[in-house]
């Protein structure tokens, strides 16, 4: 009997291509879903009315919020600080709508880097910019002007908290992860639990508490050459297995 693969919606970003706005998703995220989670990736345009989110989520089995080079506008978490360019206002608004719609519908939500931050903001949390006074941006992002290999080669160790999904998936007390971000969680959102932290206290992974379906996100990039790291492959398998477990039966 043919068994349908689950469908995971992957949010897109607004980028300029050939001088005009376009909706884009980097292939490594789609390959993570299709190759390593054994699911079907479907792009979700972020340049659409927020009221469309529940109808879209209804047709999906899970939602994945990807990383991006853009930063979240601080106005979304009540901060008077100016936003650090680039800002993707359409994605800011639509990602929050998607998280809330998925939570209401009982569909799993996964986040990577910016996606972790979006989940935290959607659930009432706040962010901080590591480039601000007293921040430790050098630990969490490579210097400007390096190659993409060097950027994703920038790494540090994290400590995992036991009795969390991340520990259950990896079975490790510590991991070495890549680090390519400037924003980070400040105040943790409602119904969220810390799964891992960096040596300087930055929250590196979160999961949902008492949510209708799993909510899980990491601050690093498991989609970057995951075959080189067993723990990143394990995360993608978790995404696939969790989505399949919560997906409705289909004929």
Which residues are part of the catalytic machinery?
Answer: 113, 221, 223
Q: Would residue 238 be called left, alpha or beta, if left means φ above 0 and alpha means ψ between -120 and 50 degrees?
A: alpha
> What tokens does 74 get?
């601080």
**Within 10 Å of residue 144's Cβ, how many Cβ atoms?**
6
How far, in Å, CA of 77 to CA of 112, rounded?
19
DSSP notation for 136-191: -HHHHSPPTT--HHHHHH-EEEEEEPSSSHHHHHH--SEEEEE---SEEESSPPTT
**Within 10 Å of residue 120's Cβ, how many Cβ atoms?**
28
Going by C-alpha positions, the residue among 133, 208, 140, 216 that lies closest to residue 179 is 140
Cβ-defined contacts of 144-147 (< 8 Å, 24+): none
Cis-peptide, bond into residue 127, ω within 30° of zero: no
Q: Which residues pair with 22 in a beta bridge?
A: 15
């Amino acid at each position: 009997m043919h068994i349908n693969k689950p469908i995971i919606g992957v949010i897109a970003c607004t980028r300029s291509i050939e001088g005009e706005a376009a909706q884009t998703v980097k292939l490594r995220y789609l390959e993570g879903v299709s190759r390593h989670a054994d699911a079907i990736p479907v792009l979700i345009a972020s340049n659409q009315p927020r009221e469309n989110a529940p109808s879209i989520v209804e047709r999906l089995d899970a939602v994945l919020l990807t990383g991006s080079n853009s930063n979240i506008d601080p106005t979304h978490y009540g901060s008077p600080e100016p936003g650090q360019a680039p800002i993707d206002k359409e994605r800011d608004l639509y990602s929050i709508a998607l998280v809330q719609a998925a939570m209401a519908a009982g569909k799993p939500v996964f986040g990577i880097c910016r996606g972790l931050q979006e989940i935290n903001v959607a659930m009432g949390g706040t962010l901080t910019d590591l480039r601000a006074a007293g921040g430790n941006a050098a630990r969490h992002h490579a210097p400007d002007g390096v190659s993409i290999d060097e950027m994703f080669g920038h790494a540090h160790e994290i400590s995992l908290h036991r009795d969390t999904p991340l520990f259950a998936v990896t079975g490790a007390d510590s991991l070495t992860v890549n680090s390519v971000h400037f924003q980070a969680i400040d105040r943790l959102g409602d119904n969220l639990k810390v799964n891992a932290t960096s040596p300087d206290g930055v929250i590196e992974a979160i999961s949902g508490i008492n949510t209708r379906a799993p909510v899980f996100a990491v601050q690093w990039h498991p989609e970057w050459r995951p075959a080189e790291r067993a723990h990143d492959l394990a995360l993608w398998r978790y995404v696939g297995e969790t989505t399949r477990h919560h997906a409705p039966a289909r004929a």
